[in-house]
Amino acid sequence: MTKVSVRYIVGDVDAAIRFYTERLGFHLDIHPAPGFARLLRGDLHLLLNRPGAGGAGQSMPDGQAPTPGGWNRIQLEVEGLDTTVEALKAAGCRFRSEIVTGNGGRQILVEDPSGNPVELFEPFSADAPSPARRTSGGSTPARCTPDRGSAAG
């Protein structure tokens, strides 16, 4: 398998395009309608749909409509997690957590403008000390202006 597609439901496709292209290194592939866009980053295809737009944005037969958010997420591997987090904080992005340390590396969850989580992950190098001796870094939660109706998030 060389292509992976992930679909996120977003409240504002244009805001999501700006976030993913300007902050996380994606490239706009297609944006044929206001309610849909496809972004690329390597082999990952990120499909952005607004509720009610296209087939993926339609309500289910029981009336349940797709909404942004949840906990499923894409993971983007980054080099220099601390620097990446500081740049995103300076841009006003919102985080669900502080940097945490696990067995394979360090990670943090940043939200796109609609509240969808994106995991930023920095793996440990093969010659790094054992996970028990690593620290989690000192980031603090930051807020951005989500498109969910509140300027404060």
Specify the CATH number for the domain of residue 114. Answer: 3.10.180.10
- For residue 101, count other CB atoms closer than 10 A to its CB: 17
In a domain, 58, yes or no: no
What is the model's pLDDT at position 80? 95
What is the model's pLDDT at position 127? 73
Range of the domain at 19: 4-52+68-133
pTM, 2 dp: 0.76
In a domain, 152, yes or no: no
Minimum mean pLDDT among 16-25, 57-66, 79-88: which range?
57-66
DSSP state of 125: P
Which helix (H) or strand (E) is 15 found in, with range?
helix 13-24
What is the model's pLDDT at position 59? 85
Q: Which of 107, 106, 108 is nearest to 141 (CA)?
A: 108
Cβ(112)–Cβ(118) below 8 Å: yes
DSSP reduced 3-state for 133: helix
In a domain, 57, yes or no: no
In a domain, 138, yes or no: no
Q: How much is the mean pLDDT over the chain?
A: 84
Structure tokens at 53: 């737009």
**Band (150; pLDDT cuts 50, 70, 90):** very low
